[in-house]
Amino acid sequence: MQQTQIQWPDYYHPKNSRIHVKSHMMSDSSPETIWRSIVNAACWPSWRHSRTSIQMISGDAEHLERGSVFLWKAGLLRYKCTVVEYEHNRRIAWKGRIGEAEMYHAWLIKETESGCKVITEATQRGGMTWFTQIYTPRNIRRYHQKWLECLASQSSQSACNKK
């Protein structure tokens, strides 16, 4: 099991999950800039050319905050998520469901001398994860890597980097 810096609820901890994926990137952008891009969920679809959609159910209509509930479609998968951790400019996490499977997705932003390090980790458990654990981690890792690349390019665009 990979070492983690995420503050996992025990239920979603990698040791209790069938699937655990960790990705990271170094960025020249400030933690504040990266943070604004992550929490501005309304702009996520513009990053992925319609492969992603967001519908805010509760909370701010565009930005994630503690307690926000949102529907998140990534490719063919649709999750209902709730933001459960929110530490401004440092960390955010949400838990969600897709069918009987449960997931937890966390982001950690660590300031560096030249910008920041962005870490994202996700776990999944329950449902068909006993079967999908064979191929799902590779797909999630690829999706997270693309997300990190989009995050790096989007963080400099003013339209999706407000609040």
Domain count, the chain: 1
Q: What is the pLDDT of residue 163?
A: 52
Tell me, what CATH number does 61's domain have?
A: 3.30.530.20
Is 34 inside a domain boundary? yes
Whole-angstrom Cα distance, residue 34 to residue 31?
5
Is 49 inside a domain boundary? yes
pTM of the predicted structure, to 2 decimals: 0.87
Q: What is the pLDDT of residues 27-60, one digit of tens each?
A: 999 999 999 999 998 888 777 655 778 888 988 8
Q: Which of 3, 21, 29 is nearest to 109 (CA)?
A: 29
The CA-atom distances, in angstroms, between 126 and each of 68, 75, 97, 156 are: 23, 21, 10, 38
Residue range of the domain that includes 119:
15-160
pLDDT at residue 76 is higher than 60: yes
Between helix 31-39 and helix 136-154 the angle, nearest 10°, is 120
Is 3 inside a domain boundary? no
Q: Which residue has the tokens 């982001």?
A: 107
Is 26 inside a domain boundary? yes
Q: What is the pLDDT of residues 91-137, one digit of tens each?
A: 999 999 988 989 999 999 999 999 999 999 999 998 887 887 787 77
Is 42 inside a domain boundary? yes
